Copies of this chain bind each other. A is one copy, B any other.
Amino acid sequence: MVDTAQRSGSKKTPASKTPATTPSPSTAGGSSTSLDPSVDTGPIKIAGDPTAPRVDLPSLGRQLLGTWADIRIAAREVSARPDMQRIDGLSMEDHRARVFTQLQTLADNGHVHRAFPKELGGADDHGGNIAGFEELVIADPSLQIKGGVQWGLFGAAVLHLGTENHHKAWLPDIMSLKTPGAFAMTEIGHGSDVASIGTTATYDTETEEFVIHTPFTAAWKEFLGNAANDGIAAVVFAQLVTRGVNHGVHAFYVPIRDAAGEFLPGIGGEDDGLKGGLNGIDNGRLHFTNVRIPRENLLNRYGDVAVDGTYSSQIESPGRRFFTMLGTLVQGRVSLDGAATAASALGLTIAITYGGQRRQFTAGSDTDEEVILDYQRHQRRLLPRLATTYAQTFAHDEFLVKFDEVFSGKADTDDDRQDLETLAAALKPLSTWHALDTLQEAREACGGAGFMAANRLVGLRSDLDVYVTFEGDNNVLLQLVAKRLLTDYSKQFAKADAGALARYVVKQAADRAYHGTGLRRLTQTVADFGSTARSVEALRETNVQRELLTDRVETMIAEVAGELRAASKLPKHEAADLFNSHQNELIEAARAHGELLQWESFTRAVESTDHAGTKQVLTWLRDLFGLGLVEKHLAWYLIHGRLSAQRAQAITAYIDRLIARIRPHAQDLVDAFGYTQEHLRAPITSGIERERQEEAREYYRAQRASGTAPVAEKSARKK
């Protein structure tokens, strides 16, 4: 929570556009009043109205912290420490050095060891580990990501792809940061398409060694954190070749630097240099010239090579083996989803707090200027993004629970793992794009002050930029989701004759049973309510919103599936062309699916809220999110006859009303995220803006009182 002066100050700023000096019961958008706060069709509530619902900050704050609240609170204490925080304007070298020191602090206090085995000093706590990591984004995204490289990628690869001997041999020094390491998967030539990397690990039966080799420039390992300076080892992904057979991509533990920090023989590399952000991390390139490592350095959980060169694996299909290995590293996507959501919340806390204090232009008064958050446009810019950030916060917690169930072994079937990966591929793109969009809008909403590094927004945005393309390019991830949706869809019809599928397409998703990916397994739980919403009133109903959002995903997939039916009979390149000609639609369908998942999490959160005032305000916010999605895709609903023109137009008007209704609660809703001034660290949210205004007002007041105030030319002329 922000300090008391601010909080009480914010309460002085009602939704009403009436200047603070002349309080009035009039409302911003209507003139009648409602006595029943549960009826939200009434006029906009104002802060001075005793019947208006109020958010209960402590319980809402607790709800937002989610399943691992205590760990998040502890992590925020770490992030509030000045020595753990980013200092703007450091040189790349100094920033890197600072982050490395901070990393050592995290290692020393055990903050980053929760996912490791208990017997090695960890806690076998996978969900809690990610929750704690995510909060580090508040201190410095470079710290979050560099920690992610060391323990979430390099260390996690040894943990999940290695076996007991590897754990004993390497994890202790990885945990303590005695062995900083790189995660050498991506190559210059292959990022998204990991299966096609060029680096080889060829088994030499004579010496019982693997020979790690970079056959051409495009196979240099690229963009690796810890590679430019700090890494003394790396987990290297390479095509495993033994007895003349390529068994596909496997991971190998490879020492890369000696005690003096020099590359070991056969290893070379370059510094990636300055990046658009995250400059506290020493990204770099690595290449290998016939580097020999012991056979035992193969991380052999999913595939092994015997002394004589015989390959074995408990997973027969090379494709499934590959995806199983990669799937163990899904936590990167999980943590990006959470960190991006936290950064959005932080940015909105800054912009909404400032927007509630900053004044500009006199519109309805001759002397007092308007609070900028009382301008409709300003509300339209910030409040829908706040609604999305709430949706993501709730969706992320459920996602993290799912992740924890899989990684703790509580629910760890193949289906669970596939659902988790699909969920990650659906949510990470939405939340990371949302963070960039929100941080940018927040920065613009703060004007020139938003551009000053001291006010945090530009730095956070620069650092988070790469979140949308690393750990899976967002567009590539959404395409994976779309393919999963298509597969689920076709499974529904696997036993049906060809005609059944065609009829399904014609009916356009009258059956809604197939849509079972991720958080959601709906089977006819949705009441059928016809092809159009009956009225705007109906749009406020949870089931109507669910129906509209679900229907769109299903219909989009069904339509594309119908178009793609011909593909199975075409030559490969023509089939690829056909698929490609629907790529954009497929990605849009995947996005709609992700949005639906977020909406459902938000809805469950509303349903589990006890406090009546909080529940009312959260319902408005959920409606703003849900109807905002419908408004965003309004053309689709019109074209497909799901909404009439009149009702479609009414949605925008209703959203305007919702926004005005939420406005008085805006400060509460961001305060509930629970960030203190130590987390915000933005001078514009410190209350200084309000102090300056008071000083100016006092000056003019005194001038008027003393009779020395100059007369305006216009008034002088009239006399």
With contact pairs A276-B458, A369-B196, A638-B645 given, residues A29 and B453 touching in the complex (Cβ less than 8 Å): no
28 A–B contacts, CB within 8 A, in A order: A17-B577, A89-B92, A188-B692, A189-B693, A189-B696, A192-B360, A192-B361, A193-B360, A196-B362, A216-B696, A216-B699, A217-B695, A217-B696, A273-B453, A275-B451, A276-B461, A276-B462, A365-B572, A375-B583, A376-B580, A376-B582, A377-B475, A377-B583, A444-B474, A447-B473, A450-B469, A584-B656, A635-B648
Q: Is the CB of B713 within 8 A of A576?
A: no
Stretch at the interface among A244-252, A341-349, A620-628, A666-674: A244-252
Tell me if A168 is interfacial: C-beta within 8 Å of chain B: no
Q: How many residues on the A side are at the interface (Cβ–Cβ under 8 A)?
A: 117
Nearest chain-B residue to A200 (Cβ)?
A: B710
Tell me if A587 is interfacial: C-beta within 8 Å of chain B: yes
Q: Is the CB of A88 within 8 A of B451?
A: no
A628-658 vs B: 1/0 string, CB under 8 Å? 0001001100111100010011000000100
A interface residue numbers (CB < 8 A to B): 17-19, 26, 28-29, 88-89, 91-92, 186, 188-193, 196, 198, 202, 215-219, 222-223, 239, 241, 244-248, 272-277, 311, 318, 360-366, 369, 374-377, 380-381, 436, 440, 443-444, 447-448, 450-454, 457-459, 461-462, 465-466, 468-470, 473-475, 479, 572-577, 579-584, 587, 631, 634-635, 638-641, 645, 648-649, 656, 692-693, 695-696, 698-699, 710-714, 716
Q: Is the CB of A465 within 8 A of B443?
A: yes
With contact pairs A223-B448, A318-B714, A714-B318 given, residues A28 and B645 touching in the complex (Cβ less than 8 Å): no
Please measure, in the bound complex, the distance between the C-alpha atom of A154 and the C-alpha atom of B667, giving whole angstroms: 40
Q: Is the CB of A581 within 8 A of B29?
A: yes
Q: State how many angstroms separate the Cβ of A447 from the closest Cβ of chain B.
A: 5
Q: Is the CB of B469 within 8 A of A448?
A: yes
Q: State how many angstroms separate the Cβ of A554 from the closest Cβ of chain B.
A: 18
Please measure, in the bound complex, the distance between the C-alpha atom of A211 and the C-alpha atom of B719, giving whole angstroms: 26
Q: Is the CB of B448 within 8 A of A186?
A: yes
Q: Is the CB of A245 within 8 A of B711?
A: yes
Please measure, in the bound complex, the distance between the C-alpha atom of A274 and the C-alpha atom of B444, giving whole angstroms: 17
| Residue numbers in B under 8 Å from A198 (CB-CB) | 696, 699
Please measure, in the bound complex, the distance between the C-alpha atom of A311 and the C-alpha atom of B710, giving whole angstroms: 14
Q: Is the CB of A576 within 8 A of B692?
A: no
Nearest chain-B residue to A87 (Cβ)?
A: B274
| Residue numbers in B under 8 Å from A468 (CB-CB) | 444
Beyond A189-B696, A190-B360, A363-B573, 7 additional pairs, beta carbon < 8 A: A89-B274, A216-B696, A245-B711, A275-B451, A364-B573, A374-B580, A458-B462
Please measure, in the bound complex, the distance between the C-alpha atom of A376 and the C-alpha atom of B436, giving whole angstroms: 24
Nearest chain-B residue to A440 (Cβ)?
A: B436
Please measure, in the bound complex, the distance between the C-alpha atom of A190 and the C-alpha atom of B361, giving whole angstroms: 9
The 6 A-B residue pairs whose C-beta atoms are closest, nearest first, are: A276-B458, A364-B573, A364-B576, A634-B635, A274-B453, A363-B576
| Residue numbers in B under 8 Å from A186 (CB-CB) | 448
Q: Is the CB of A458 within 8 A of B576?
A: no
| Residue numbers in B under 8 Å from A579 (CB-CB) | 363
With contact pairs A648-B639, A692-B216 given, residues A466 and B451 touching in the complex (Cβ less than 8 Å): yes
Nearest chain-B residue to A17 (Cβ)?
A: B577
| Residue numbers in B under 8 Å from A365 (CB-CB) | 572-573, 576
With contact pairs A246-B712, A458-B462, A699-B216 given, residues A470 and B444 touching in the complex (Cβ less than 8 Å): no
| Residue numbers in B under 8 Å from A92 (CB-CB) | 89
Please measure, in the bound complex, the distance between the C-alpha atom of A660 and the C-alpha atom of B580, giving whole angstroms: 11
Q: State how many angstroms separate the Cβ of A574 from the closest Cβ of chain B.
A: 8
Please measure, in the bound complex, the distance between the C-alpha atom of A26 and the C-alpha atom of B570, giving whole angstroms: 14
Q: State how many angstroms separate the Cβ of A534 from the closest Cβ of chain B.
A: 18
| Residue numbers in B under 8 Å from A248 (CB-CB) | 712-713
Q: State how many angstroms separate the Cβ of A362 from the closest Cβ of chain B.
A: 8
| Residue numbers in B under 8 Å from A369 (CB-CB) | 193, 196
Please measure, in the bound complex, the distance between the C-alpha atom of A653 and the C-alpha atom of B28, giving whole angstroms: 43
Q: Is the CB of A246 within 8 A of B711?
A: yes
The one of B191, B245, B454 in contact with A447, judged by C-beta atoms closer than 8 angstroms, is: B191
